[in-house]
Amino acid sequence: MELEAELHETKKPIMVLGTSSGAGKSLTVTAICRILKNLGEEPIPFKGQNMSNNAWVDWEGGEMAYSQALQAFACGINPSAEMNPILLKPQGNSISEVIHLGKSIGTTTAQNYYKDWFIPGWEVIKKSLKSIYERNPNCRLIVEGAGSPVEMNLIHRDLTNLKVAKYLNANCILVTDIERGGVFAQIIGTLELMKPEEKKLIKGIIINRFRGDLSLFEEGKKWIENKTKIPVIGIIPWLNDSFPPEDSLDLLEKKSLDKNPEIKVGILKLPSISNFSDFDPLENEETILIEWIRKSRNLSKYDFIILPGSKQTIKDQIFLEKSGLSQDIRDYSKNEGNIIGICGGLQMLGASLEDPYFKEGSKNHSEQKIKGIGLLPLKTTFFKKKLTRQINSKSIWPCQSEINGFEIHNGQTVLDDVQSSIKINPIFEDSDLGWYKENNKGGTIAGTYIHGIFENDSWRTHYINLIRKRKNLPILNTKSISYKEKRQSIIDNLANEFHKNLSLKSFLS
């Protein structure tokens, strides 16, 4: 039986569409999920197809976009890859890895994607929706669109906007970002490009990121409603949210709010950066300032630097060498510098990287085996199969504590026999999850495969305290409020702001 015939027994789905990418769809869905949870409903987030290298691993080892994981947290439920059945992970040169229901099933060019993957993609979306409703018959789906729903050159093969809206007969909200300017044209243009049966699904409009006196937009609100015959159900003020952006390019727009930081952290802005949500716990530390590093520079002003995850480790290591950043990092390590590499960052800190199957960005045979930065005596070989799993372990350094996180990586890293004279120590009881060594002049070089390592409060606080002690700063209280509690508080604050400025009554019948 088609899902449409079954939906009359369920609560009407709410779908959030945007006039453009970056209009605020993800945070709007997150807020609505928490609002409905607080009202006693059973919301479940869903995004048919997402393109992002900012990923999460569910408890079955399935990959999904981090934004849907965050929305699941807002619902008070465990994330599942069914909430994001198609994940496309860009690899550069218009090539993406294709992940269906959490499992990598191939790669595709942009040109061939819809020819090869449209039909199986739609089937996996329908399969996920059916499974969600079978296991949660009383739920209300909160569905997120992608980009703009009216890209006319793509609309006939768009898997995740109006096709999903019509399939679910969802009540749709159109979100537009007034900060970008041209809000009236964004709304009218988007609606005019919809077919009549599609436009009928739009039941409300949200004006997002409004600055200043709301009363000044009253005439604008009336004009939109008179012109479109659709109510403006919310005007959301500008919020200083602390969530990761969907797009790694937006990282450069993130600004630390701390004007007088005690600790300065530099994070390498790799061309193929992935899993940048790893650093949210540091963004939420009041005493820390984060800066993103794109070009070669003297790194001595930073108390520690981070090499983040990478979707194309070979490609990014070549970038570091050519740009001079590899040498900057080596120089920094000689001057009592503290360095942490996560996943691809760990691999790049090692002595060598070998890519026999061209899985990690090598373009030709000369790039299949290259030197790493050379600060840890490790060698990494990339194989065909990727490892994705949740991690529960115990740390040995910088403290003994329970550790939770997840792995997403190709490649196996082992000690390099050629550099066996260099002593390094395991960070965790599971010794292949990470290593560290101390510099002769002080400072440490560490690397781990665990994404989400900084979400572990005791581990994060003890590491920061190593830095603070060397700077003769007061030691942080290791029993301060946890990051996961802070994340819940941030979601609550987001939901409260939306709830004050958004009317959802007509959507809850």
Per-residue pLDDT of the chain (509 residues; tens, 9 = 90+): 355 545 556 799 999 999 999 999 999 999 999 999 999 999 999 999 999 999 999 999 999 999 999 999 999 999 999 999 999 999 888 899 999 999 999 999 988 998 899 999 999 999 999 999 999 999 999 999 999 999 988 888 899 999 999 999 999 999 999 998 899 999 999 999 999 999 999 999 999 999 989 888 999 999 999 999 999 999 999 887 556 555 544 544 455 555 679 999 999 999 999 999 999 999 888 899 999 999 999 999 999 999 999 999 999 999 999 999 999 999 999 988 999 999 999 999 999 999 999 989 888 888 999 999 999 999 999 998 999 999 999 999 999 999 999 999 999 999 987 777 788 999 999 999 999 999 877 899 999 999 999 999 999 999 999 999 999 999 988 777 789 999 999 999 999 999 999 999 999 97
Using DSSP bridges, classify how beta strands 444-448 and 434-438 pair: parallel, antiparallel or unpaired.
Answer: antiparallel
Contact (CB, 8 A) for 202 and 233: no
Q: Is residue 500 part of a domain?
A: no
Q: Find the catalytic residue in 33, 75, 343, 462.
A: 343
Q: How high is the pLDDT of residue 1?
A: 38
**Residues 308, 204 share a domain:** no
274/234 same-domain check: no
The answer to whether residue 401 is domain-embedded is yes
Distance between CA atoms of 155 and 50, rounded to whole angstroms? 16
| Residue 343 among the catalytic residues | yes
Looking at the structure, tell me whether residues 134 and 69 fall in a common domain. yes
**Are residues 124 and 270 both part of a single domain?**
no
Q: What is the DSSP letter of 276?
A: G
The CATH number of the domain holding residue 168 is 3.40.50.300
Q: Cβ atoms within 10 A of the Cβ of 414, count?
A: 12
Please report whether residue 499 resides in a domain: no
**Residues β-bridged to residue 92:** 95
* 233 and 257 both lie in a single domain: no
In a domain, 508, yes or no: no
* Residue 437 and residue 457 in one domain: yes
| Full domain range(s) for residue 286 | 248-483
Same domain, 131 and 276: no
User: What tokens were used for 162?
Assistant: 């109006």
Is 8 designated active site?
A: no
Token duo for residue 326: 């590899």
Residue 220 sits in the same domain as residue 316: no
Q: Are 114 and 20 in contact (CB under 8 A)?
A: no
Q: Choose, from 100, 409, 451, 462, the residue flagged as catalytic.
A: 451
Q: What angle do CA 381, 386, 387 make, to 5 degrees?
A: 100
Residues 454 and 432 in one domain: yes
For residues 169 and 5, give the distance between their C-alpha atoms in angstroms, rounded to a whole number: 11
Residue 112 amino acid letter? N
Residue 501 lies in a domain: no
**Do the domain assignments include residue 146?**
yes
Q: Among residues 238, 273, 294, which one ends one of the domains?
A: 238
Look at residue 466 in the predicted model and tell me its pLDDT: 94
Q: How far apart are CA 364 and CA 367, in angstroms?
A: 6
* Domain identity same for 312 and 391: yes
492, part of any domain: no
Q: Is residue 507 part of a domain?
A: no
Distance CA 358, CA 365 (A): 9
Write out pLDDT tens, residues 222-269: 999 999 999 999 999 988 755 655 554 454 445 555 567 999 999 999
Q: Tally the domains of the chain.
A: 2
Question: How many secondary structure helices (H) and strands (E) does the chain include?
Answer: 14, 27
CATH number for position 309: 3.40.50.880
Percent of the chain with pLDDT over 90: 80
Sign of the alpha-carbon torsion through 17, 20, 26, 27? negative
Distance CA 485, CA 431 (A): 29
Same domain for 115 and 11:
yes
Domain end: 198, 216, 238, which one?
238
Write the pLDDT tens digit of every residue in 6-28: 555 679 999 999 999 999 999 99
Same domain for 295 and 314? Answer: yes
